[in-house]
Amino acid sequence: MSHVSYAMILAGGLGSRLCLLSEKRAKPAVPFGGKYRIIDFTLSNCVNSGIFDIGILTQYRPLSLRDHIGIGRAWDLDRKRGGVELLQPFQGWAESDWYRGTADAIWQNWDRVVERKAEHLLVLSGDHVYRMDYRPMIEAHLQRGADATVAITEVALDQASQFGVVRTDAAGWITGFLEKPKNPPAGKISMGVYIFRTAALREEMELDAMRATSHDFGKNIVPSLVQRGRVLAFPAYGYWQDIGTLDSYYRANLDLLSPEPPFPLQDLRWPIFTPSTEYPPARLGTRAHVRSSIVTHGTIVNGTVERSVLFPGVVVEEGAVVRDSIVMGESWIGPRAELDRCILDKRVHVGRGARIGVGEALRPNRGCPEHLSAGITIVGKASRVPGGLVIGRNVRVAPDLVEEDFPREAVEAGEVLEREGESAHAGSAS
Amino acid sequence: MNSPILVLVLAGGKSERLHALGRVRTSSALPFGGKYRVIDFTLSNCAHSGLFRVGILTQYAPLSLQHHIGIGKPWDLDRRDGGVRLLPPYVRQRETNWYRGTADALIQNRNVIEDAQARHILVLSGDLIYKMDYGRLVERHETAGAALTIVTTAVPESEPERYGYVATDGDGRVISLEEKPALPSGETISAGIYLFRSRNLQAWLEKPGLGPDLVRDVVQPMILNGDRVVAYELADYWRDVGTIDAYYEANMELLRPVPTLTLHDPDWLIYTPSEDRAPAVITGEGDVSGSLVAHGTHVEGTVRRSILFPGVHVAPGALVEDSIVMHDARILSGARLSRAIVDKGVRIGERAVVGTGDAIPNREFPRDLASGLCVIGKGSEIPAGGSIGRNTLVEIGVREVDLAAGAAPSGVVVRAKGVVR
């Protein structure tokens, strides 16, 4: 029996690099893979690893996440002992404030750890898509008597600079930890999965709280622990994808469609749990052509769908073509409309004959050039694209636009469409 | 406040005419429409009608049903007041009996009816498919001051002799209800939905020596006795799926371009316990049209005009046409299915052909298997290269050894050796 039974999941951050998708919801609540939210993977890993006592730290736009988690029933986390608890910042009699960083979020909820008399603490991130049994890692952590254990994986050297890069010695102890280095020395990176000996973490937290740092696990706590204590690396070789950018989000979704998916969602021994919707089975009409795609309950397809992911309740009308796209819940693709390399948020309405994702990716998006340059066009929640309109690549369409908000002529590559004089940050989440 | 209506759902029957499909489970628990069980329609009607005091009378093969209902969560029937209760027969100090019929089931649950102190008792069948707002029925029943309201519907085209015919006078009062007449006459039949004023029903159930059948021994005598029995017409879709043909047709109707029964109406969704299955995957070689596809399916072959339940795998080069394929069945590569009903967990081997040859009626059950369908019973395995004819019944748990040379011609019944029928 392991001594690690409490997990805290960091789910509070603003995912600015996910562009529109996380504008109205926390990143862990972003829809993924046809019926999931990103946090489902971490939560399912927990319960499949026998961990049923979980605190989720939320701060940025938590409503969508809160609705999704509910009382935790989908994960069997509606329990008398343990279960799941959402820990948002609150005002109290002691020093309390907005969370200043991931470490501060846990520090402000340290009572939770103390109450449990937890000797060790599992700290996870809510915005990774991966499948991992935490038990072997827990075993290694306990056996080697580590102050902390960090799960590591390997990525291509050119991508390593987005992560915490790890250097280890022959015995597997971490000798160096660099968060997002400019010139990474190697491709071994932290997966954001940590086990801490509670006493060691507490000491580190106390020190950190007094310093003017970012109060961040990757930037401050772990590097400092590496200096002062014994931090073990635990190599985990399964599929792991950080959903940090729009590109990685798009790629991770499309990974599910490859002939040999790196991540078998269908594996009944390691189910990914999520609250289910009440829709009927997918209905593929007599003129439907669906290939290399994921379809979910409540979808109705009468057109052509290739290499795409359709979320519940999506309707693809006759003659419409959806190619290399991700279409979220309850969106409607009108007759003869065409989508190519698009991400549509929920309840988008694409009018008859409209074409989105047309032409060359001539220039990156004006608004967020660093995140929208690979040719993907993204349409925000509940916007209504007028019939017949042509929209180029790398375009960002704000949420909640109505037909009148769109220009009459074709929208060129790299444009940003939003209602004049209105902040894109208004509105409610779901 | 207690709801004035107690709902009792009859879900204990065995449908002989469904053969292998109806032997492993009571007909109310029959899988339907890609993710549902037949009883989901009745229970969802209750939920949408605001009726939350429901008793389900079970007897035949109830485990599948019991597991399905659980605490009634999908229908919002997990309640402090009311909710769902399963009512199986039980051993008593005196006289212990299985339910000998529908009326007997009610008699044996007289205490449930009394304790409910309901104004009306709505008696439903768990094995019918329809959508209905019972609230309006109750309203009509009350304004008519009826002792009993019988819901009626138009007689289906096939096998009109299976139903009970209702005759009314000009004011909608029922004059007669004739069960399964040799020569059916009239257009209006009983839809198997009975709303009793509680005190009238109780009075009848208390009569000494009452027979066991609800229609013959309660409803018909009430009419003869001059009790106020009125008819209420259900004009919409209504299907009894008690035969293989009716079950198949009702499923296939869902695939029509404009289905007679829509499952997509957001105001009247059909609720069922959800399974934790991944979304459906259709691969590059896969091709699906005119079909319903549930979560957990993996399609690498071709599927036309068919219904795939959760977890079905159609391997590359396999062809499934006009078929119903239930949970976790595997159709291996190159296999072909035509007009087949494949029960849960069946394995169709490589290049096996199911539903081929002449449609000569089944030798043992010519009435039930004559339209060219074939049925593969739960958990059976058809070997690679095997061939199964039309109107053929492959019983539950059949293995390669039970099939001479892997083949069964049209019109035969294949049984597993050493398995008691």
- Chain A interface disruption, residue of B255, B288, B304, B322, most A CBs within 10 A: B288
pLDDT at residue B62 tops 60? yes
pLDDT at residue A85 tops 70? yes
Picking from B270, B282, B283, the nearest residue to A295 by CB comes out as B282
In the beta sheet, which residues pair with residue A32?
A36
Q: Where in chain B is the domain with CATH 3.90.550.10?
A: 5-253
**Average pLDDT for B17-46:** 96
- What integer pLDDT is reported at residue A1 of this predicted model? 41
- What integer pLDDT is reported at residue B419 of this predicted model? 54
Asked if residues A386 and A406 have their Cβ atoms less than 8 Å apart, the reply is yes
Banded model confidence at residue A258, pLDDT cuts 50, 70, 90: confident
Looking at domain B281-420, its CATH superfamily turns out to be Hexapeptide repeat proteins (2.160.10.10)
CB-based contacts of B303: which residues, under 8 Å, 6+ apart? Answer: B286, B287, B288, B289, B291, B293, B314, B319, B320, B321
- What integer pLDDT is reported at residue A425 of this predicted model? 44
| pLDDT tens per residue across span B307-338 | 999 999 999 999 999 999 999 999 999 999 99
Shortest alpha-carbon distance between residue B186 and chain A (Å): 36
Banded model confidence at residue A426, pLDDT cuts 50, 70, 90: very low
| pLDDT tens per residue across span A59-84 | 888 888 999 999 999 999 999 889 99
| pLDDT tens per residue across span B347-362 | 999 999 999 999 999 9
Q: Where in chain B is the domain with CATH 2.160.10.10?
A: 281-420
**Average pLDDT for A344-363:** 95
ipTM of the complex: 0.88
**Most trustworthy range by pLDDT among A93-97, A340-344, A426-430, B405-409:** A340-344
pTM for the model stands at 0.91
Cβ distance of A290 and B283 shorter than 8 Å: no
Considering only A43-47, A79-83, A148-152, A396-400, which range has the smallest mean pLDDT? A79-83
Picking from A266, A278, A281, the nearest residue to B292 by CB comes out as A281
Interface check B288 vs A, CB under 8 A = yes
Chain A with chain B: Cβ pairs closer than 8 A: 113
| pLDDT tens per residue across span A162-173 | 899 999 999 999
Mean pLDDT across chain A: 91
Banded model confidence at residue A375, pLDDT cuts 50, 70, 90: very high
**Pairwise CA distance, residues B328 & B320, whole Å:** 15
- Give CA separation, A323 vs A241, A326, A342, A357, A381, in Å: 23, 9, 8, 10, 19
Q: How is residue B102 written in tokens?
A: 């529908």
**Average pLDDT for A212-217:** 91
Cβ distance of A281 and B277 shorter than 8 Å: no
**Pairwise CA distance, residues A275 & B144, whole Å:** 44
Banded model confidence at residue A424, pLDDT cuts 50, 70, 90: very low
Mean pLDDT across chain B: 94
| pLDDT tens per residue across span B102-149 | 999 999 999 999 999 999 999 999 999 999 999 999 999 999 999 999
| pLDDT tens per residue across span A402-419 | 999 999 999 999 999 998
**Average pLDDT for B374-383:** 97
- What integer pLDDT is reported at residue B49 of this predicted model? 96
Banded model confidence at residue B398, pLDDT cuts 50, 70, 90: very high
| pLDDT tens per residue across span B164-191 | 999 999 899 999 999 988 888 889 999 9
pLDDT at residue A93 tops 90? no
- What integer pLDDT is reported at residue B365 of this predicted model? 97
- What integer pLDDT is reported at residue A325 of this predicted model? 98
In sequence order, what DSSP letters do the residues of B279-321 get, joined into one string? PEEE-TT-EEESEEE-TT-EE-SEEES-EE-TT-EE-TT-EEE
Search chain B and give the residue with CA nearest A276: B274
User: Residue A50: which of A106, A122, A151 has the closest Cα?
Assistant: A122
**Average pLDDT for A145-169:** 93
Banded model confidence at residue A268, pLDDT cuts 50, 70, 90: confident
pLDDT at residue B301 tops 60? yes
pLDDT at residue B43 tops 70? yes
Interface check B32 vs A, CB under 8 A = no
**Pairwise CA distance, residues B237 & B218, whole Å:** 27
Shortest alpha-carbon distance between residue A30 and chain B (Å): 17
User: Residue B116: which of B187, B22, B46, B198 has the closest Cα?
Assistant: B198
Residues of A in Cβ contact (< 8 Å) with B307 = 281
User: Residue B347: which of B316, B326, B373 has the closest Cα?
Assistant: B326
Interface check B274 vs A, CB under 8 A = yes
CATH topology of domain B5-253: Spore Coat Polysaccharide Biosynthesis Protein SpsA; Chain A (3.90.550)
Shortest alpha-carbon distance between residue B266 and chain A (Å): 8
Considering only A23-32, B237-246, B331-340, B392-401, which range has the smallest mean pLDDT? A23-32
Cβ distance of A265 and B269 shorter than 8 Å: no
- What integer pLDDT is reported at residue B3 of this predicted model? 63
Cβ distance of A280 and B295 shorter than 8 Å: no
In angstroms, what is the C-alpha Rg of chain A? 22
**Average pLDDT for B227-242:** 96
